[in-house]
Amino acid sequence: MSKKENIQEEEIKNEQEIAKSKENQEVETEVEAEVVKEEPTTEELVQAEKDKFLRLFAEFENYKKRTSRERVELFKTAGQELMTSLLPIVDDFERALTHIEDDKEAEELRKGVLLIYQKFYNTLEQKGLSKVETNAGDTFDAEIHEAITQIPAPTEDLKGKIIDCVEKGYKLGDKIIRYPKVVIGQ
């Protein structure tokens, strides 16, 4: 090897060492900067804790409101299962009253059954039960009614409308517990 090649190799090594030392210095300054950044001031710590506290407090308030709403809703519909099981009895009373009206000899029986029916139904109404009003000629609404069949409409204006109500619907509070079963015109 010649002296020129040796000198060139030494210059290259020196340049590499200078570049490495610059990189090391940059890394050290970055580490120092990170160390400085990691130490928040006391005001920042207080603000962060205050923010965390406010968020936790708001979350707890929302939880209290949600559980109280759920509790009120539960009390409103607590008797839903009982009411649903009593609805066939109401239907039987109504059927009995329509059949007794045809027989004129059983007037006293009709009055007695009507009195029992009214007392029973009034008690259910006091507990929040109400009828879903459905009349022939009303527009069919799938969210309120249950269509059990479709028949050809007797007239053009009854297409898509209720022709007959087979079984009455009932609500407990604002919630429908039994949808009215209807026949609609096609």
For tokens 């087979």, what's the residue?
166
State the Cα–Cα distance between residues 105 and 107, nearest whole angstrom. Answer: 6
Q: For residue 172, what pLDDT is reported?
A: 87
Q: For residue 61, what pLDDT is reported?
A: 95
Give pTM, 2 decimals: 0.59
| SS3 annotation, 132-144 | ECCCCCCECCCCC
Q: Which two tokens stand for residue 134?
A: 């459905």
> Shortest CA distance to 145 belongs to which of 134, 129, 153?
134
pLDDT by residue for the chain (186 residues), tens only, comes to: 566 676 777 778 777 777 777 777 766 655 555 555 578 889 999 999 999 999 999 999 999 999 999 998 887 767 888 889 999 999 999 988 888 887 777 888 888 889 999 999 999 999 889 999 988 888 888 889 999 999 888 888 888 889 988 999 999 888 899 999 999 988
Q: What contacts 97, CB < 8 A, 6 or more positions away?
A: 110, 113, 114, 117
Question: End-to-end distance of the chain based on CA atoms, in angstroms?
Answer: 106
Whether the Cβ atoms of residue 103 and residue 151 lie closer than 8 Å to each other: no
Three-class DSSP category at 116: helix
Q: For residue 28, what pLDDT is reported?
A: 61
Q: For residue 29, what pLDDT is reported?
A: 59
Q: Which two tokens stand for residue 64?
A: 């209290």
